[in-house]
């Protein structure tokens, strides 16, 4: 069965299915119950499953994640919502020094199946701390799995995969993609959670990115096609671990790579991809690996976001530079 859904609704249905399938699944977060969350991703779930399964918490991110760690130790599968990505840092200590390390501390005898949902990224005209892309912090931290869907179909399936994982998962939800609709296959199994995927084939250059940047890269590929340039687009889907096989295979075919992200470029996921491709596919490259990213400054006021965030023009400029070598 296929339905045309927004990503927000698709994740909602994925959470609903996970709650129905396993009584040990709990949702926790600020305003997620009665209100249904700022973005209404959890709308209706408290009414269906009750306040003991969908918990409105105090405004205390460290307390939310700390409580989730304790619940996981008692056999539950808590799913925490951080209201906006800029509010995750009060919980940063709990995530990177406690949650990420606990399985190793217990020598693998104890699992910590905690999912932390984080709406992230720009393009919504919001203020500081509401449009940032902090994924590199978590991808750098050993012991965490980090994933980000780019489509409603992946949102529906990947949230369920994250919940059934026995490892802690940072689930990054691109806010700019909450509302556009797409087909969601409700019946058939999805691709594995950490598998990169070629979403458009091409021969001249490869674009790689995740989250909201996937739609941007596809738009850029359409424009380039009208100018006679064939672009292949790879959706990362997972930021830790990264599935490099489709990326390397694509670069071996096209000889050129541009990595796209909203986050600042310094010490980023894009940096890691550029380095790894240069290491493993150097002799296939006809040009340096280029990056298109946010700038290395704090996220600006909303009326300047268009100058800060990558867009189709900046991607196409990088494509032109790569083809000029």
Question: Residues with catalytic annotation?
Answer: 130
Name the pairing type of β-strands 231-235 and 197-200: antiparallel
* Strand ranges for 54-213 from DSSP E: 54-56, 77-81, 115-120, 145-147, 169-174, 181-185, 197-200, 205-209
Are the beta carbons of 108 and 160 closer than 8 angstroms?
no
Q: What does DSSP say about strands 238-240 and 290-294: parallel, antiparallel, or unpaired? A: unpaired
Tell me which DSSP letter residue 189 carries: P
CA nearest neighbour of 166 among 55, 22, 67, 61 = 22
One-character DSSP codes across 248-287: HHHHHHHS-EEEEEEEESTTSHHHHHHHHHHHHSGGG-SS
- CA 224/CA 221 separation, integer angstroms: 5
Element (DSSP H or E) covering residue 240: strand 238-240
Phi, psi of 66 (to 5 degrees): -60, -45
Residue at token pair 């006809």: 286
Whether residue 237 contacts residue 195, with contact meaning beta carbons closer than 8 Å, is answered with: yes
Instruction: Return d(Cα 175, Cα 307) in angstroms, integer.
Output: 18
């Amino acid at each position: 069965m296929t339905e045309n859904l927004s990503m927000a609704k698709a994740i909602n249905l994925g959470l609903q299915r996970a709650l129905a399938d396993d009584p040990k699944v709990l949702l926790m977060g600020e305003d997620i119950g009665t209100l249904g969350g700022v973005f209404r991703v959890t709308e209706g779930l408290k009414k269906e499953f009750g306040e003991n399964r969908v918990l409105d918490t105090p405004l205390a991110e460290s307390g939310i994640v700390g409580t989730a760690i304790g619940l996981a130790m008692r056999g539950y599968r808590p799913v925490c919502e951080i209201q906006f990505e800029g509010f995750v840092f009060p919980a940063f200590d709990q995530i990177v020094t406690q949650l990420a390390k606990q399985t190793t501390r217990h020598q693998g005898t104890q699992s910590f199946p905690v999912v932390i949902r984080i709406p992230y990224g720009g393009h919504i005209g919001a203020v500081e701390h509401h449009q940032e892309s902090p994924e590199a912090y978590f991808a750098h931290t050993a012991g965490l799995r980090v994933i980000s869907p780019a489509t409603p179909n992946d949102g529906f399936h990947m949230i369920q995969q994250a919940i059934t994982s026995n490892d802690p998962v940072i689930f990054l939800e691109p806010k700019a993609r909450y509302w556009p609709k797409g087909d969601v296959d409700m019946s058939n199994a999805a691709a594995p959670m950490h598998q990169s995927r070629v979403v458009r084939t091409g021969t001249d250059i490869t674009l790689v990115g995740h989250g909201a940047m996937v739609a941007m890269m596809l738009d850029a590929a359409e424009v380039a096609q009208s100018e006679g340039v064939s672009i292949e687009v790879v959706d990362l889907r997972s930021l830790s671990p990264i599935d490099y096989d489709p990326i390397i295979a694509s670069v071996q075919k096209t000889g050129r790579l541009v990595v796209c992200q909203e986050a600042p470029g310094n010490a980023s996921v894009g940096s890691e991809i550029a380095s790894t491709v240069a290491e493993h596919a150097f002799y296939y490259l006809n040009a340096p690996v280029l990056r298109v990213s946010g700038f290395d400054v704090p996220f600006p006021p909303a009326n300047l976001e268009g100058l800060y965030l990558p867009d189709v023009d900046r991607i196409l400029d990088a494509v032109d530079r790569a083809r000029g070598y």
